[in-house]
Amino acid sequence: MLVHELAHEKSVDNSHGPLYHASGNLIVPKGAGLSSAQRDLLLKAGIELLYELEGKDSVERFEHECKNLRIQLDTVQAGQVLSRPIYDEHGLLLLEAGKPLTAAAIERLKKRGMRVVYRRKTPEEMELAQYERYSHLLVLSTGDEKEIVRGALQQVGRRTAVPPKEGFTPDWVDSQLSDDLHPPAGGVPLKDKLKRKDATGAQRGDKEKTEFIDLHHDAIVLTRKLLTMARDEKDFDGATIGRLAGQIVHAILKDKDLVLNLVHIKNVEDYLVHHSVNVCLISVNIATALGLAADQIIEIAFGALLHDLGMIKIGKAILEKAGPLTAEEKLEVEKHPIYGLELLQLIKGIPKPTPYVAYQSHERLDKSGYVRQREGKQIHLYAKIVAVADVYEALTSERAYRKAFLPYQAMEQIIAMGNKRKLDPEVIRAFLRYMSLFPVGSWVQLSNGNIGKVVSANESNYDRPVVRLIYDAQKKKLVPPLLLDLRSAESVRVERVVDSSELESALMDGF
């Protein structure tokens, strides 16, 4: 392995192989070369060394050594309590953090022929703060939407999930989550790169609106194909999902409100497909509002799109039942996260957190969820985000056993679940910042009688969104429609929510 000391090398030409950071993250792809400008950014972030693998060096072995510290069993004393989990060379959990390593346990490991164990390195030992600083500086130095997405996809591609020999199982997820519960801090928050809409309130052009509708259609087609192939137990290339996730992040950068408006596209006959896509769109908005970085949001998009994958193994008679489920039927539905883990093995190249989301998105903070009745501190952040999106999307969709809730009614239910500590209050607040108490894309009647569509939220005033007024009190169209920011119109308030069925309306009205 070659070690490049950046303080003494102004650049590295493109004849060299890929260059890695001490955390195992790829900095320079093979053949790309390290420019003097990129070197300066690395040094500014506090990164002084890069590593280049040679001939027989294994990338997998290098990444393992970067993330894990080798410990000789002979140096471990009986009764010693380690602050980090202990694994074998294949990543199998041997001992959870905080538990003493007994003499009997040490002897059993030696009898298995083990002389070395590994503990996961701390973020400080992997120099993650420097790498995150570099990612932040790199994004700020470009600022280009396509570059942000491209860079994020590259980072996600280096953090794929490798299923163990027995596949993704509940025990495997639990063992990984013991040390992987909180995602490492990402680079620059995506919300800092969002485009701001024209302050004059001009409506979008037809071309722009069509592009977003096409994005939703493409997502529906891809998800339908994915579910069909999973049902037939055929392999699927995760890179295809990655490209879609990248397109969604790009759309968020351009116009988050148009993305939120797309979730009003429903199809009761094709519920699972539309539900999966809409949960994905909502989740990436929540993640953006929480201040997560582009690579983290792409990981969330994967998990959200696949969170209900296991539902394809639930019988149609149960899914379309008009009445209440029996205890046996409810138990079968609650197995779908486990079925989802099994099916995820068919998809090559998924991010490591994807199985966590599929397995945990139906858990609740008060331990009332399923599969394992975990409490809040045991649930991965991504799963908490998808849980809120999943409940909201389900409530606003028509089902065989009930009508759809109006968006405002669904938001009230979400807030109530947060107050009862079922859903994460911080995630709900982030959702409200971008969606508003009167959700984007829904209709409201104001105290002055005018009727309009909510076209944007006010992040600091959940109940005073931006509304495009389209009808007067007699439901006659206003020409032209008027934009009203309720934050500055203190004498006007939302009087009631309006069902779109009361109006002659279209998806993109007001936008």
Which element (helix H / strand E) includes 456?
strand 451-458
- Going by their DSSP bridges, the two strands 236-237 and 347-348 should be labelled as parallel
Mean pLDDT across 217-240: 95
Kindly write down the DSSP assignment for every residue of 72-96, as one continuous string.
Answer: EGGGPPTTEE-SS-EE-TT--EEE-
Return d(Cα 406, Cα 502) in angstroms, integer.
Answer: 13
> Which range has highest mean pLDDT (67-76, 175-184, 383-392, 454-463)?
383-392
Return d(Cα 159, Cα 60) in angstroms, integer.
Answer: 11
Return d(Cα 101, Cα 206) in angstroms, integer.
Answer: 65
Tens-digit pLDDT profile for residues 136-155: 676 556 556 777 887 788 87
Return d(Cα 477, Cα 146) in angstroms, integer.
Answer: 39
Tens-digit pLDDT profile for residues 71-123: 887 887 887 776 667 766 666 667 666 677 788 878 887 888 777 777 778 77
Pick the closest to residue 263 from 284, 289, 281, 242 (CA basis): 281
The percent of residues above 90 in pLDDT, for the chain, comes to 58
- Going by their DSSP bridges, the two strands 451-458 and 461-471 should be labelled as antiparallel
Q: Is 98 exposed, middle or buried (0-12, 13-18, 19+ CB in 10 A)?
A: exposed
> Which range has highest mean pLDDT (250-254, 355-359, 458-462)?
355-359
> What local confidence, expressed as pLDDT, does residue 143 receive?
56
> What local confidence, expressed as pLDDT, does residue 69 receive?
82
Amino acid identity for residue 397 in this structure: S
> What local confidence, expressed as pLDDT, does residue 286 receive?
97
Mean pLDDT across 209-219: 95
pLDDT band at 196 (very low <50, low <70, confident <90, very high): low
Whole-model pTM: value is: 0.78
Return d(Cα 137, Cα 7) in angstroms, integer.
Answer: 18
Buried b (16+ CB within 10 A) or exposed e, 47-70: beebbbbeeeeeeeeebbebebee
Query: What angle (nearest 5°) sits at the alpha carbon of residue 156, between those of residues 234 and 208?
Result: 85
Tens-digit pLDDT profile for residues 333-381: 999 999 999 999 999 999 999 999 999 999 999 999 999 999 999 999 9
Query: What angle (nearest 5°) sits at the alpha carbon of residue 387, between those of residues 91 and 494?
Result: 155
Question: Average pLDDT of the chain?
Answer: 88
> What local confidence, expressed as pLDDT, does residue 79 receive?
78
Tens-digit pLDDT profile for residues 397-426: 999 889 999 999 999 999 999 999 999 999
Decide if pLDDT at 179 tops 80. Answer: no
Mean pLDDT across 232-246: 93
